[in-house]
Structure 1
Amino acid sequence: MPASSQPRSPVAIALVTALASFTIVLDTTIVNVALHSLAREFDAPLTTIQWVTSGYVLALASVIPAAPWAMARFGAKRVYLAAIALFVLGSALAGLAWDAPSLIAFRALQGLGGGLITPVGMSLVLRAAAAGGGRQGMLMSISGLSILVAPTLGPVFGGWLVDEVSWRWMFLVNVPVGALAVALAARVIPADSPTPGRRLDVPGLLLLSPGFAALIYGLTRANESAGGFASVDAWLPLAVGVGLVLGFLRRALTVSAPLLDLRLLRHRPLALGLLGLLPFVMGYFGSMLLTPMFFQRVRGDSVLESGLLTIQLGLAAGLTMQLAGRLVDRVAVRWIVLPGMLTAAAGLGWFALALGPGIAEWQVRLSLTVLGVGVGMTMMPSITAATRSVAAPDVPAAATLVNIGSQLASAVGSALMAVLLAGNLAGAEGDPAALADGFRRTYLWAVALILLAAVPAALLSRRPPARPDAGRAAVRSEEARGPASQIR
């Protein structure tokens, strides 16, 4: 590993990364619920305003693959501080936007910073855990709290800002929070030295970043277009994206120093962790797209009311994740993740089967609480299992693989659920019972994806993790043998 000063507290690093991640996730969810308000504000069609979200996601997706090289070239701390600062700058400019095109451009600037915050932050937490004697599960649970809690608070906070304050504060609120995150990160994250001589794999970047962006764009268009995946606006970029990604895969497996070392997937815990995480993310985050739509279209709830109906989901997930994060440092990960996935499937299945125009509020709250408990047992423990035993030099690449996979799975899940819902609601407009039935059938696809994720989860290790002193010995052994691969 590059030379670095010892952190005063790994927990402090995890809390700082949680604050930065919370800002970007909350920002995304707030904007998603305010698109109709922005369309009215700028007197622009919704298809144009949709690019406030799409432009951000595309910029975010394009920069993630460069994270390992950037950390090696400039040092993880410098990259992290610069990424937060760029996100804050984009937020300030977005809050001052004067028309739809300027807002879309500033959101893209936000995405360039936001795309680096999560993978670099995850690498910093994993390094702090290794230097501090383990406790990866606990630290990852603290750092990842925002991923589960912010999407629940976003609709509530966003609805209040749009209705009572101003749309501009959806973005301006990031400025003081981001500035605080920069100040704290500068203080608690140890300095690290760049790795001399590591060059960027430019051909790999020119294949993977545009390919990843094209896939996200195609999935977004499938969500927006009346023809779904059959629309040329969807399948053409998807085909281009698949071709570019396949080209990257071929290059990554044949050159000695690829942008991302896919040979890491030979590492069984990383491969199994990703195989379980991806369908779970598709099912869970895809279903979260449906929930506010059900409350608003079938029950007639407002944005704020629909957010309040789901707030217990995020709270249950956040609390459970803290307990699961501590358990995963002591108990075999299979006995946490597998029951978590089955619990999540049970909670979401209960909610789906109870759907109807007059669904009782207690059923909504209790079923979503069960779902939250399952999600809290699954998300961060799965990521911890995937990255825990990766050799220290490979941590940035492993963290980036997890983030790329999660981003793509979330986009695929959202687009898939939107297309399925459109088909299931055909001809049901004006009939609350038929609308509820269409939502129910779509939710059951999300339940099936979560159950599919349980298959690789059942193959995870049954052995408890090694003691912290054994983990440090393994890291020293890896460092004595030299890097397992070169990330450039």
Structure 2
Amino acid sequence: MNTAGTATAAAPEELGNVKRLPILISIIIGAFFSILNETLLNIAFPELLVELQVSAPTLQWLATGYMLVVGVLVPASALLVQWFTTRQMFLGAMTLFTVGTLVCGTAPEFSFLLAGRLLQAAGTGLMLPVMMNTILVLYPPEKRGAAMGSIGLVIMFAPAIGPTLSGLILESFEWRWLFYFVLPFAVFSIIFASIYLKNVSTVTKPKVDVVSLILSTIGFGGIVYGFSSSGEGHGGWSSPEVYGTVAVGGVALLLFVLRQLRLKEPLMDLRAFKYPMFTLTTLLLIILMMTLFSTMSLLPFLFQGALLMTVFASGLLMLPGSLLNGLISPLTGKLFDKFGPRALVIPGTLFLAVIMWFFTQVSGETSKTSFLILHICLMVAISMIMMPTQTNGLNQLPQRYYPHGTAILNTLQQVAGAIGVALFIGIMTSGQRSFLEESSDPTSPAQMSEAMVSGVHNAFVVGFAFAIAALVLSLFIKRTKAQAE
């Protein structure tokens, strides 16, 4: 048995007198505001394009870079949670996040804003493993669905509510207040955790494999950078910068996988994939995260660029769906405990496919009411799928694989979200460019609006294809039980 199993298994024996609620509150406060920042800036992108004087593909690095750093850091989480205590990990993560938030709020130009976002992302990347592993240690499998529903309130509700909060704030204040608003909550989280957060993990300090760290960084970084660069300039996928970095990333990931399978103490134990429901869970979550984050990025461009809505109106339009998303997540967790995953996941993916098809039919004449209904339905469908699928997959793993299972899921979710944003904005940008190249008057506001609709339509067609793939995968899901060690 590897040290990851020792660390996780040893902790529960010492938790008899630990109060779960203060620990859960401490983690949720910090995690909510750190994950919130994944989409907090999205609705401000059109305003930032003008103020910072950068292109849309360059600006999207504020979202893609955030998720990329999180995705690069999380592979090391299975190692870090064994080197540092729960308090050290959490307080260190929140300190990094708070410093990054301050840098963003005071940034004089794009490069400083991006640097601050990357610091925020580093804090979030360290936060995710603390949150997931703490829940797995504190709660037994029979109560884990409801507990994971609480995590769903953070993982799903926080990024979903980001655009709405942005719209409300930007109606009266400049974009810097998006960070000034978060700053006091981040400081409060540090103070609250200093008082109430207890250590629930065992520090074993396993060997650090530097080669694995380097390979995972190059692998995930190269792939996401390549996808992000595909929307820049006129080269697209024919550019050596694009296919070259993707190829390098792919080779590095292959070497990373081969190395993990040979090591006695791997950075990320990929043997977790021998459990079929965990593998199915991973594939489903990759598709869902690409759909969620890409849709959250595309809608602000469509609302403000094609429908000429204000920032406040855009945020308000997305509020009901975001609220329902958060309210339904704990409920779906309880329903999962009672009925299992198939009763939620199969109808949810079917619902998602239908919704994404309707998104491919939208135009500049589509009513605000239609967009409101579509967004609400999208959030409900994702709530039905996300946490039940994740809980079912993790439940099949033996306890010694918990740190590695959570690291795998968190890494691939974040990287999938980053690739989704990059891919869909790249498709949108290419569609706009193609439309305007064939236009007789490309500078006309009407033609630019139609170009935006054309680009977003192309992106939603790809999203619909992803939803169909998710539906097919969901048909194979089965209820799992914890495996013996």
Q: TM-score, normalised by structure 1?
A: 0.86
Structure 2 counterpart of 1:125, from 135, 149, 165? 135
**Pairwise CA distance, 1:196:** 2.9
1-structure distance, mates of 2:249, 2:122: 19
Point out the more displaced range, 303-312 or 150-159. 150-159
1:155-194 equivalence runs, <5 A: 155-192=163-200, 194=202
Q: What one-letter code is carried by the residue in structure 2 that aligns with 1:406?
A: Q
Point out the more displaced range, 16-25 or 327-336. 16-25
User: Unaligned regions of 5+ residues in structure 1, if any?
Assistant: 479-488
Structure 1 residue 66 and structure 2 residue 66: aligned? no
Q: What root-mean-square deviation, in Å, do the aligned CA atoms of Structure 1 and Structure 2 show?
A: 2.7
1-structure distance, mates of 2:65, 2:375: 31
**Pairwise CA distance, 1:195:** 3.3
**Pairwise CA distance, 1:300:** 1.2
Structure 1 residue 341 and structure 2 residue 349: aligned? yes
Structure 1 counterpart of 2:379, from 372, 392, 395? 372
Structure 1 residue 450 and structure 2 residue 450: aligned? no
2-structure distance, mates of 1:45, 1:438: 15
Q: What one-letter code is carried by the residue in structure 2 that aligns with 1:419?
A: G
Structure 1 residue 249 and structure 2 residue 266: aligned? no
Deviations 1:185-231 (A, max 9, x none): 34444314543351112111111122212222222222344433333
Structure 1 residue 84 and structure 2 residue 99: aligned? no
> Cα distance 1:129–1:18, how it changes in 2: closer, same or farther (>3 A)?
same
1:110 maps to what in 2?
A: 120
Structure 2 counterpart of 1:415, from 408, 413, 422? 422
Give the conservation status (yes or no) of the 8 Å contact 1:70–1:76.
no
1-structure distance, mates of 2:430, 2:103: 39
Q: What one-letter code is carried by the residue in structure 1 that aligns with 2:418?
A: A
Deviations 1:123-163 (A, max 9, x none): 11121223xx6321211121221333333432232234345
User: Unaligned regions of 5+ residues in structure 2, if any?
Assistant: 1-8, 437-441
Give the conservation status (yes or no) of the 8 Å contact 1:346–1:371.
no
Q: What one-letter code is carried by the residue in structure 2 that aligns with 1:460?
A: I
Partner of 1:167, secondary structure, is: coil
Deviations 1:68-106 (A, max 9, x none): 111011123321221112111221233233444333333
Deviations 1:338-367 (A, max 9, x none): 1111112222323433x1222223322222
Point out the more displaced range, 422-431 or 84-93. 422-431
Structure 1 residue 285 and structure 2 residue 293: aligned? yes
Q: What one-letter code is carried by the residue in structure 2 that aligns with 1:124?
A: T
2:3 maps to what in 1?
A: none
1-structure distance, mates of 2:394, 2:415: 18
Q: What one-letter code is carried by the residue in structure 2 that aligns with 1:455?
A: V
2:5 maps to what in 1?
A: none
Point out the more displaced range, 171-180 or 444-453. 171-180
2:271 maps to what in 1?
A: 263
1-structure distance, mates of 2:300, 2:466: 20
Structure 1 counterpart of 2:219, from 211, 224, 238? 211
1:322 maps to what in 2?
A: 330
> Cα distance 1:50–1:389, how it changes in 2: closer, same or farther (>3 A)?
closer
2-structure distance, mates of 1:69, 1:2: 16
Partner of 1:375, secondary structure, is: helix
Partner of 2:264, secondary structure, is: coil
1:455-466 equivalence runs, <5 A: 455-461=472-478, 463=479
1:462-481 equivalence runs, <5 A: 463=479, 478=485
Give the conservation status (yes or no) of the 8 Å contact 1:299–1:357.
yes
Give the conservation status (yes or no) of the 8 Å contact 1:218–1:237.
yes
Give the conservation status (yes or no) of the 8 Å contact 1:123–1:396.
yes
> Cα distance 1:350–1:193, how it changes in 2: closer, same or farther (>3 A)?
closer
2-structure distance, mates of 1:41, 1:435: 20
Q: What one-letter code is carried by the residue in structure 1 that aligns with 2:372?
A: R
Structure 1 residue 25 and structure 2 residue 42: aligned? no
Point out the more displaced range, 328-337 or 312-321. 312-321
Partner of 1:256, secondary structure, is: coil
Structure 1 residue 440 and structure 2 residue 446: aligned? no
Give the conservation status (yes or no) of the 8 Å contact 2:67–2:121.
yes
> Cα distance 1:188–1:228, how it changes in 2: closer, same or farther (>3 A)?
farther
1:93 maps to what in 2?
A: 103
Partner of 1:144, secondary structure, is: helix
Structure 2 counterpart of 1:145, from 147, 153, 156? 153
Q: TM-score, normalised by structure 2?
A: 0.87
> Cα distance 1:94–1:200, how it changes in 2: closer, same or farther (>3 A)?
same
1-structure distance, mates of 2:57, 2:291: 26
1-structure distance, mates of 2:82, 2:401: 11
> Cα distance 1:381–1:9, how it changes in 2: closer, same or farther (>3 A)?
farther
2:400 maps to what in 1?
A: 393
Q: What one-letter code is carried by the residue in structure 2 that aligns with 1:304?
A: F
> Cα distance 1:303–1:228, how it changes in 2: closer, same or farther (>3 A)?
farther
Partner of 2:31, secondary structure, is: helix
Percent sequence identity over matched residues? 28
Aligned pairs, number: 465
Q: What one-letter code is carried by the residue in structure 1 that aligns with 2:218?
A: P
1-structure distance, mates of 2:340, 2:269: 27
Partner of 1:223, secondary structure, is: coil
Q: What one-letter code is carried by the residue in structure 2 that aligns with 1:454?
A: L
2-structure distance, mates of 1:94, 1:125: 31
Structure 1 residue 307 and structure 2 residue 324: aligned? no
Point out the more displaced range, 333-342 or 282-291. 282-291
**Pairwise CA distance, 1:318:** 2.1
**Pairwise CA distance, 1:307:** 2.0
**Pairwise CA distance, 1:51:** 4.8
Deviations 1:364-412 (A, max 9, x none): 2222222222111011111111112322232111111001111121122
Partner of 1:34, secondary structure, is: helix
1-structure distance, mates of 2:63, 2:292: 20
Give the conservation status (yes or no) of the 8 Å contact 1:347–1:371.
yes
1:384 maps to what in 2?
A: 391
> Cα distance 1:143–1:345, how it changes in 2: closer, same or farther (>3 A)?
same
